[in-house]
């Protein structure tokens, strides 16, 4: 194999185009990489080294650990937490963390969801006994079943949340690493 494309002598206006010169260009590996914001491209012999020297974190999602400080009445869709650093075992600023979509009250309360099997289930949550943050009723018209979130959120629990950005700024959502789900109440 011939020279790398980048190592070939440059063309200048008025140069005679010869078959030999065109063959050099055609046979040369044509690796042309250009760096960008935070990207550095380096050539070392026949290797190309791409370095991420300053990652772009403007809209990059991040994950945090958080310790729940409140998960109860009035928190049907969220839990209140303090950021937590497991390395230093320290807590910092307070953040509100959304529950995973399927565990929230707002999208489902009073609505009937029709599943791909054709089964339609209406979900209702009750504030009567202040249990709406962990309990609901699922009714398919034939049978009514009380469901509870298991395991329930509890104060002092460490959760992992992923961040993103929406029209209202940064938000956090529980990644549900413990596998919470709705189950029939025993």
DSSP 26: H
Which residues are within 8 A (CB) of 26 and not within 5 positions of it... i.e. 6 or more apart? none
Query: Distance (Å, rounded) from C-alpha 50 to C-alpha 38?
Result: 10
The phi, psi pair for 24, rounded to 5°, reads: -60, -45
Confidence of residue 111 (pLDDT cuts 50, 70, 90): very high
Q: Are 146 and 137 in contact (CB under 8 A)?
A: yes
In this prediction, residue 29 carries a pLDDT of 55
Q: Is residue 171 scored above 90 in pLDDT?
A: no
Q: Are 135 and 108 in contact (CB under 8 A)?
A: no
- % of the chain residues with pLDDT over 70: 76
**What are 16-54's pLDDT values in tens digits?**
878 877 777 666 655 555 556 556 777 777 676 777 655
Which residues are within 8 A (CB) of 174 and not within 5 positions of it... i.e. 6 or more apart? 79, 97, 98, 99, 100, 159, 160, 161
Residue 108: name the closest of 72, 64, 73, 76 by CA. Answer: 76
Query: Distance (Å, rounded) from C-alpha 61 to C-alpha 181?
Result: 24
Q: Is residue 78 scored above 80 in pLDDT?
A: yes
Output the six-digit token pair for 133. Answer: 């943050």
Which residues are within 8 A (CB) of 77 and not within 5 positions of it... i.e. 6 or more apart? 98, 99, 104, 105, 106
Query: Distance (Å, rounded) from C-alpha 119 to C-alpha 159?
Result: 33
Q: Span 162-178, mean pLDDT? A: 80
DSSP 109: B
pTM reported for the whole predicted model: 0.63
Confidence of residue 56 (pLDDT cuts 50, 70, 90): very low
Residue 85: name the closest of 67, 61, 60 by CA. Answer: 67
Q: Span 152-180, mean pLDDT? A: 85
């Amino acid at each position: 194999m011939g020279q790398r494309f980048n190592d070939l002598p440059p063309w200048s206006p008025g140069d005679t185009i010869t078959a030999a010169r065109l063959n050099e260009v055609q046979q040369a590996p044509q690796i042309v990489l250009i760096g960008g914001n935070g990207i550095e491209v380096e050539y070392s012999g026949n290797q190309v080294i791409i370095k991420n020297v300053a990652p772009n974190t403007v809209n990059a999602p991040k994950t945090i650990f958080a310790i729940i400080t409140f998960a109860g009445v009035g928190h049907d869709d969220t839990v209140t937490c303090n950021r937590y650093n497991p390395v230093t075992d320290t807590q910092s600023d307070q953040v509100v963390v959304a529950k995973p979509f399927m565990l929230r009250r707002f999208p489902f309360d009073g609505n009937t969801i029709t599943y791909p099997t054709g089964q339609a289930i209406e979900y209702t949550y009750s504030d009567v006994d202040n249990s709406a943050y962990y309990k609901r009723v699922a009714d398919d018209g034939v049978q009514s079943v009380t469901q509870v979130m298991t395991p329930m959120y509890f104060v002092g629990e460490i959760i992992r949340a992923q961040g993103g950005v929406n029209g209202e700024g940064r938000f956090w959502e529980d990644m549900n690493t413990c596998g919470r789900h709705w189950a029939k109440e025993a």
